[in-house]
Structures are given as C-alpha cells and as structure tokens.
Amino acid sequence: QKEVEQNSGPLSVPEGAIASLNCTYSDRGSQSFFWYRQYSGKSPELIMFIYSNGDKEDGRFTAQLNKASQYVSLLIRDSQPSDSATYLCAVGIQGAQKLVFGQGTRLTINP
C-alpha cells in the first residue's frame, strides 16, 4: 500500500511568520510531488509541483524535496490570513496515472 503521511494539525502560525508543512511518502518509485490547497468545502487547488531534489520557489511558496529521505515540504513565507486552509500533499506513482494524497494539514494563520 503506497502511503503519503502528513501531520493533520492544526498548525497555528502568526501572520507574517513562516509556515512549514511536511509530508513523507512510502514508495521509493514516486517521481512527482504536489502541494494542493483546499479551503473548506472546496476543491483542491494546485500550488506547486516538484520533481527534482532540492528547493523550488514560486513567490511566497518554496517546495523542498529529499528523495533519499522520502520527504517533501512546503514553506509559506510572510503568511497571510488568506493562507488559512488545509494543505494536501500528493504523490505521483511511477507508471501509474494517478495521485496518492495525504490526509492534509490544517493551517491557521492568526492575525
């Protein structure tokens, strides 16, 4: 069973601080890694994807991937109240046309 694990939270961060969200995965054959944001009652919205080890930055968001440790993270700089949502880590399985999702981390940014 291919698993993706996230701390369900809630994670509470003051406005303007850095929020750090973590995810581990079990399948070493995983090749693509995604972070989605999901507001309550809404559909997942793609924030970032990363394929290679290291960091990838897009505005206030940085995704980090360490395939040796089977670990992927998302940093949100200068957190805003509008960043309050559930963040879903998803992993693309090698040879499969599907994503496996973690249970999500609920993030709250406190003004």
Partner 1 sequence: EPEVTQTPSHQVTQMGQEVILRCVPISNHLYFYWYRQILGQKVEFLVSFYNNEISEKSEIFDDQFSVERPDGSNFTLKIRSTKLEDSAMYFCASSLARENYGYTFGSGTRLTVV
Give the Cα separation of 106 and 23 in Å (integer). 13
Measured distance CA(45)–CA(61) in Å, rounded: 14
Q: Is 104 among the residues that bind partner 1 (CB under 8 A)?
A: yes
Chosen residue from 15, 45, 55, 78 binding partner 1 by CB under 8 A: 45
Instruction: Work out whether 46 is an interface residue with partner 1 (CB under 8 A).
Output: yes
Q: Closer CB to partner 1, residue 75 or residue 93?
A: 93
Helix (H, G, I), strand (E, B) or coil at 81: helix
Contacts of 42 (CB under 8 A, 6+ apart): none
Is 61 among the residues that bind partner 1 (CB under 8 A)?
no
Q: Is residue 22 a contact point for partner 1 (CB under 8 A)?
A: no
Name the 3-class secondary structure at 19.
strand
Q: Is residue 58 within the footprint of partner 1 (CB under 8 A)?
A: no
Q: Under the criterion CB under 8 A, does residue 31 sit at the interface with partner 1?
A: yes
Q: How far is CA 79 from the centre of its chain?
A: 15
Binding site for partner 1 (CB under 8 A): 31-32, 34, 42-46, 49, 88, 90, 92, 96-104
